[in-house]
Amino acid sequence: QSVLTQPPSASGTPGQRVTISCSGSSSNIGSNTVNWYQQLPGTAPKLLIFSNNQRPSGVPDRFSGTKSGTSASLAISGLQSEDEADYYCAAWDDSLKGPEVFGGGTKLTVL
Amino acid sequence: EVQLVQSGAEVKKPGESLKISCKGSGFIFSSYWIGWVRQMPGKGLEWMGIIYPGDSDTRYSPSFQGQVTISADKSISTAYLQWSSLKASDTAMYFCARLLAVAGRRHLDFWGQGTLVTVSS
């Protein structure tokens, strides 16, 4: 069972806007920034959003992140077929005295 | 160009030892933390631990403490993940990644391609 909670699946049609939630606690999301990673089928994860809402160079502005309290969300607007992937939220957890913790992942299906 | 290139797939028997590698290029390897992440078949990502090659400072996720050993050789820009006695449950894809830590912000900005480890009798 993951420390951060995500819905196992999400879906949308091309052009739609979808959001993926990530719920944590005061020791992780509540006191640290949130990152999001995208894992396309059969490939390594890729950094999608860092520090709650920052996009690395090359990531389209269709992807956006927000954080409020102990929860965070990833939004994808103008959904495209190539967005079909697994999405993971992550945050450092002060109570674990170890590295970052991941959410369980959300499989996004583009219908 | 920043790159992390991992060693190839491995097939081992239970009880055997194994060391896989992750070679960095395009950046000062000794100045960045390198992390290891496990992904079991059909499952999510799990942090295993991180190492700072500059001084070999190593931190383990509690779930992996004592189960694996993370090391690095900064002279050849390579990090390692090793097992002394593999179990079938170690079958997974293992990724290394560079940790960018600046002004309190920490994230894995570059990833290796992954090493598939299969443990079967």
A3: nearest Cα among A31, A28, A36, A32: A28
Closest-CA residue of B relative to A107 is B44
A7 and chain B: CB distance < 8 Å anywhere?
no
* Average pLDDT estimate for B36-57: 95
Chain B residues lying within 8 Å of A92, measured CB to CB: 106
Report pLDDT for A97.
Answer: 58
CB contact under 8 A, B108 and A45: yes
* Average pLDDT estimate for B39-66: 94
Q: Say how far apart CA B42 and CA B44 lie, in whole Å.
A: 7
Per residue in B71-120, pLDDT (tens digit) is 999 999 999 999 999 999 999 999 999 999 888 789 999 999 999 999 99
Could you tell me if B70 and B49 are in contact, meaning their C-beta atoms sit under 8 angstroms apart?
yes
B57 and chain A: CB distance < 8 Å anywhere?
no
Report pLDDT for B8.
Answer: 98
CB contact under 8 A, A103 and B44: yes
Report pLDDT for B105.
Answer: 84
pLDDT at A96 over 80: no
Q: Say how far apart CA B89 and CA B99 lie, in whole Å.
A: 27
CB contact under 8 A, B113 and A101: no
CB contact under 8 A, B44 and A2: yes
A13: Cβ contacts below 8 Å, ≥ 6 apart? A79, A110, A111
What band does A1 get if pLDDT is binned at 50, 70 and 90?
Answer: confident
Query: Pairing between strand B78-83 and A71-76?
Result: unpaired
Chain A residues lying within 8 Å of B62, measured CB to CB: 96-98
Query: Pairing between strand A106-110 and A9-12?
Result: parallel
Which position has the higher pLDDT, A99 or B28? B28
Q: Say how far apart CA B59 and CA B33 lie, in whole Å.
A: 10
Query: Pairing between strand A34-39 and A46-49?
Result: antiparallel
Please spell the DSSP secondary structure of B100-113, one letter per residue.
EEETTEEEEEEE--
* Average pLDDT estimate for A76-104: 90
**Residue A60 to chain B, least CA–CA distance (Å):** 16
A12 strand-pairing partners: A110
For A:24-83, CB contacts with B below 8 A are: 32-33, 35, 37, 39, 44-47, 50-51, 56
Could you tell me if B48 and B57 are in contact, meaning their C-beta atoms sit under 8 angstroms apart?
no
pLDDT at B25 over 80: yes
Chain B residues lying within 8 Å of A47, measured CB to CB: 107-111
Chain A residues lying within 8 Å of B112, measured CB to CB: 44
- Alpha-helical segments (H) within B2-121: none
B68: nearest Cα among B36, B34, B40: B36
Could you tell me if B83 and B71 are in contact, meaning their C-beta atoms sit under 8 angstroms apart?
no
CB contact under 8 A, A98 and B49: yes
Residue A47's H or E segment, with its range, is strand A46-49
CB contact under 8 A, B45 and A88: yes
